[in-house]
Amino acid sequence: MNDSQPLSESTHIELPDVWDQLDEIVKAGESEAAINFLNALPPGEEARILAQLSLDEQQAFLKLLDGEHAAWLMETLPELQAAQLLSSLSPEQAAHIVDEMNSDEQVDLLDQLPEEQSEKILEVMNPEEAENVRFLSKYTSLCAGGLMITELLSFEESQTVDDVVSDLRQNAERYAEYNVQYIYVINHDLQLVGVLRLRDLLMAPPGKRLSSLMIPSPLCVPDSTSLQELQHFFDSHPLFGLPVVDEANVLVGVVRREDVEEAGEEQAGKTFLRFAGIMGGEELRSLPLKIRSARRLSWLSINIVLNIVAASVIAMYEDTLSSVIALAVFLPIVSDMSGCTGNQAIAVSTRELVLGVIRPRDWIYVFKKEFALGMVNGLALGLLLGIVAYIWKGNAYLGLVIGGALAANTLMAVCLGALIPMVLKGFKLDPALASGPILTTITDMCGFFLVLSFAQAFLPLLT
Amino acid sequence: MNDSQPLSESTHIELPDVWDQLDEIVKAGESEAAINFLNALPPGEEARILAQLSLDEQQAFLKLLDGEHAAWLMETLPELQAAQLLSSLSPEQAAHIVDEMNSDEQVDLLDQLPEEQSEKILEVMNPEEAENVRFLSKYTSLCAGGLMITELLSFEESQTVDDVVSDLRQNAERYAEYNVQYIYVINHDLQLVGVLRLRDLLMAPPGKRLSSLMIPSPLCVPDSTSLQELQHFFDSHPLFGLPVVDEANVLVGVVRREDVEEAGEEQAGKTFLRFAGIMGGEELRSLPLKIRSARRLSWLSINIVLNIVAASVIAMYEDTLSSVIALAVFLPIVSDMSGCTGNQAIAVSTRELVLGVIRPRDWIYVFKKEFALGMVNGLALGLLLGIVAYIWKGNAYLGLVIGGALAANTLMAVCLGALIPMVLKGFKLDPALASGPILTTITDMCGFFLVLSFAQAFLPLLT
């Protein structure tokens, strides 16, 4: 915090230099040099420089660091890579590092490991830390319980301002790592009864009891509250943190705005990758080839089967095709364009679902909106492609067949694209991963069918 | 803040009821009923219920609200819709509402309007507020200057703890709306010289001067710092806010972690939509059909032209095609699969660029990684489709032609997909919007060419 350098003045280190330097440090085995190296990395560049090292290099480097710096390194790396690095260490080495991390990061990281392995690490960790991790890891990561931190300040309602201030003074060191925004007031049964802002403490007479100073019955959420509900909450309330209670209204933690927004951002990134067919929504190029290839292939192999199914429609019309070979030129265009128009609608629905602007049961509203748009864009695209077909072969009927098929297929693709994510969401399935393949399979089949059956009907006029 | 209802207990209101209710309120023209209605909306549902109203309905409803509630309504609606609503009002009405909003939201909203219109609103706004907006709006929205708020607490270094505490007490009402995390310490020339946490004030003797209590030379950023740099900063520093200075080191505002993360999340959502071909990265179904249709069509019409260009390769091989009509079945499959594999690589590169794990100049590293993956996945997919072709027609050479073409095209699609976003980013272009069309045009052309030229070479063996 005492660095007067403005951020943007950080010089851009050339990568090969950095890695040569790192190589030397690792070869020399100098802990001090390693720590100096870490501290000298330009802010904002650490993740990039460290993430591009191979697992072996990361391991060799990590061995030179003390627990605190090793924990910092883990927190800086993308989660997937940190977990991989951790699992390459002995349980004792891993525990030593995890002990130094914050409660929510401990849980997130250990969650990435196979249960057997994380259990071994927990066994050799500081018992108090391990117990806290076990308590937190019973929650799934995308609910209030999974996002909350347990490092909070709570006092009983019968205590006075003076009690609090002297406790703050005495434990200043322990609280140094806490992000203190509010003080939570609890009763004898540990139930949350009030909340107090730090600034209100500043202005209150020392002898006053918390019960008369606090804001009573504060907003709070059950530990099962979903990430989406939390996002909506923080969108409409200018608060930094929100206390989390269990079924008995006992205060169990605090979920902070920053953690909710970080989780939201991560989710948005994962949605984007899943939408493009990356299983699990995460891939980094530093992962082993086997894992990367398998993650992509698993989605591709489903896709190729669906593609073959869709293209089998063409096989049924081989006669029509061989009579009007020009149709073969337009089949990929119709298939591709319907995929594009449908994907736009999928993206808008997925985004509106995430924003909370629509819910699955609003499908009539969405259908009406998309139907109108599908009519307009279908006519526009159909007209365009129809004219191209007409000009190319000088046959107006060919233009009519191609244009009509594309227009009809566009209308269908737009409506389907809008509704598929809502249906999947309604069945609690993941809209991002499955919507695309479902859409393109249907639109391809219909597109091929429309072009070829229209062509068959007009066959005498086309040749 | 004094609502003891846990969030998840909020009953899900049925929409038709809500809208009937709203209809009655608007018809009766009762302001009080309108405000009660707003307050009774279940938390987290406000945006959804209000965003689905038509512009006319929103306008009629807005007229019933006082400035404060109207401002709240504006902040709840998606930005695009709020701007539309605002621009439908007279400058006086609009100014009255904008006056009640926070500085960063004022700027964001007025930024969405045509300059002429926002100028008219500024002219009739509270002069002090208007001046602040003019000052803030000289910054682009995705840099520290555009993201910062100007509501902050700053004191001169010569002042004492007591001075600060009594100022806080005196102006408690004015500061009530501030998110006070830190106190900023400035010198005579308004330059930032230190920072002080609220909790440190709590523990300090009253007579102490700020200069001896503050953390000197605090971290700060120039007002031009980019969103991405800010994201990296907050990722690696557990701070709530970061002071922003101009070229003369004068303190001009504070950029808060929450605003950076909100902006990051919004960017991620827009990237996702642009990736799917929604121009501008934003579409809500409540927008007029004309705008929605035009935004989607502008991208689609570029795409269809590119598609026609790519398909013209097929037209050059009409003879080959009519000899082996089965090829027409495989052309859409090869085109579609190469699009899929390439898009995966695009998504991973786009994501890694956003995460800061790679930079445009790391292209050799990325190319090596993708080449290896392209070999593996190309062989796997080529083998699969080749076997299907062989089984279908009982001709091993057809399998070889199709499988070989898909394998080669997959390798190319993967490498291209990985590099295109990096090249675009290197030229400061938007990778999300343009990568897809560029990729599929090239891979379609190459895919068609590979299948048909291989087929032509093996023609005697295929028939």
Looking at the predicted structure, is the pLDDT value of residue B2 above 50? no
Closest Cα in chain A to B318: A325
Across the interface, whether the CB atoms of B297 and A203 are under 8 A apart is answered: no
d(CA B266, CA B283): 13
Identity at B138, one-letter amino acid code: K
Highest-confidence segment of A227-236, B265-274, B364-373? B364-373
Looking at the predicted structure, is the pLDDT value of residue B353 above 50? yes
pLDDT in tens, B5-23: 334 333 344 555 677 777 7
The pLDDT value recorded for residue A184 is: 93
Predicted confidence band of residue A12 (pLDDT cuts 50, 70, 90): very low
Predicted confidence band of residue A412 (pLDDT cuts 50, 70, 90): very high
CA angle B82, B83, B88 (to 5 degrees): 100
Predicted confidence band of residue B445 (pLDDT cuts 50, 70, 90): very high
Across the interface, whether the CB atoms of B326 and A318 are under 8 A apart is answered: yes
CA angle A344, A345, A350 (to 5 degrees): 100
Q: Which has more confidence, A440 or A52?
A: A440
Residues of B in Cβ contact (< 8 Å) with A293: 373, 376-377, 380
Across the interface, whether the CB atoms of A357 and B48 are under 8 A apart is answered: yes
- pLDDT average, residue stretch B403-422: 94
Q: Of A258-262, B187-191, B194-198, which range is least confident?
A: A258-262
Interface of A with B in 261-290 (CB under 8 A): 261-262, 264-265, 268-269, 271-273, 275-278, 283-286, 289
Across the interface, whether the CB atoms of A358 and B48 are under 8 A apart is answered: yes
The pLDDT value recorded for residue A15 is: 52
Across the interface, whether the CB atoms of A289 and B372 are under 8 A apart is answered: yes
- pLDDT average, residue stretch A317-338: 90
- pLDDT average, residue stretch B338-357: 84
Buried-state track A295-312, b at ≥16 Cβ within 10 A, e below 16: bbbebbeebbebbbebbe
Looking at the predicted structure, is the pLDDT value of residue B361 above 90? no
d(CA A373, CA A384): 17
Interface of B with A in 48-67 (CB under 8 A): 48, 51-52
Identity at B298, one-letter amino acid code: S
pLDDT in tens, A111-167: 888 888 889 999 999 898 888 888 888 887 788 988 888 888 899 999 998 888 888
Q: Where are the alpha helices (DSSP H) in A137-243?
A: 144-147, 161-170, 172-175, 198-202, 210-213, 227-236
Arithmetic mean of pLDDT over chain B: 84
d(CA B35, CA B25): 10
pLDDT in tens, A16-33: 567 777 778 878 888 888
Across the interface, whether the CB atoms of A239 and B297 are under 8 A apart is answered: no
Choosing among B340, B388, B435, which should be mutated to test the A contact, i.e. which has the most A CBs within 10 A? B340
Q: Of A407-421, B41-55, B130-144, B438-452, which range is least confident?
A: B41-55
The pLDDT value recorded for residue B267 is: 80
Q: Of A315-329, B13-27, B331-345, which range is least confident?
A: B13-27
Query: For the domain bounded by A7-138, which CATH number is listed?
Result: 1.25.60.10
d(CA A304, CA A54): 32
- pLDDT average, residue stretch B240-251: 90
pLDDT in tens, B146-159: 888 888 889 999 99
Contact present, B411 and B427 (Cβ < 8 Å): no
Q: Which has more confidence, B170 or A387?
A: A387
Whether B335 contacts chain A with CB within 8 A: yes
- pLDDT average, residue stretch A232-236: 77
pLDDT in tens, B278-316: 776 777 777 778 878 888 888 888 888 888 888 888 988
Closest Cα in chain A to B269: A268
Whether B336 contacts chain A with CB within 8 A: yes
Looking at the predicted structure, is the pLDDT value of residue A7 above 70? no
CA angle B297, B302, A373 (to 5 degrees): 15
Query: For the domain bounded by B288-462, which CATH number is listed?
Result: 1.10.357.20
Q: Of A339-348, B45-54, B92-101, B251-260, which range is least confident?
A: B45-54
Domain range summary for chain A, segments of one domain joined by +: 7-138, 154-268, 288-462
Highest-confidence segment of B143-147, B268-272, B432-436? B143-147
Residues of B in Cβ contact (< 8 Å) with A180: 199
Closest Cα in chain B to A332: B332
Highest-confidence segment of A325-329, B140-144, B406-410? B406-410
- pLDDT average, residue stretch A69-76: 83
Closest Cα in chain A to B270: A351
Looking at the predicted structure, is the pLDDT value of residue B417 above 90? yes
Predicted confidence band of residue A362 (pLDDT cuts 50, 70, 90): confident
Across the interface, whether the CB atoms of B285 and A336 are under 8 A apart is answered: no
Whether B199 contacts chain A with CB within 8 A: yes
Whether B165 contacts chain A with CB within 8 A: yes
The pLDDT value recorded for residue A42 is: 67
A154-268: in CATH 3.40.50.2020: no
Which residue of A232, A269, A304 is in closest CB contact with B385?
A: A304
- Encoded tokens for B273: 């939509």
Residues of A in Cβ contact (< 8 Å) with B76: 236
- pLDDT average, residue stretch A188-197: 90
Coil, helix or strand at residue B180: coil
How close B120 gets to chain A, by Cα (Å)?
A: 29
The pLDDT value recorded for residue A39 is: 78
Whether A201 contacts chain B with CB within 8 A: yes
The pLDDT value recorded for residue A415 is: 95
Choosing among B164, B236, B319, which should be mutated to test the A contact, i.e. which has the most A CBs within 10 A? B236
Strand A154-156 to strand B192-197: parallel, antiparallel, or no bridges (unpaired)? unpaired
Which residue of B6, B326, B381 is in closest CB contact with A304?
A: B381
The pLDDT value recorded for residue A4 is: 38
Residues of B in Cβ contact (< 8 Å) with A76: 235-236
Residues of A in Cβ contact (< 8 Å) with B236: 43-44, 46, 76
Coil, helix or strand at residue A187: coil
The CATH class given to the B8-138 domain equals mainly alpha
Looking at the predicted structure, is the pLDDT value of residue B214 above 80? yes
Coil, helix or strand at residue B435: helix
Whether A103 contacts chain B with CB within 8 A: no
- pLDDT average, residue stretch A45-69: 79
H or E stretch covering A287: none
- pLDDT average, residue stretch B393-413: 94
Across the interface, whether the CB atoms of B44 and A3 are under 8 A apart is answered: no
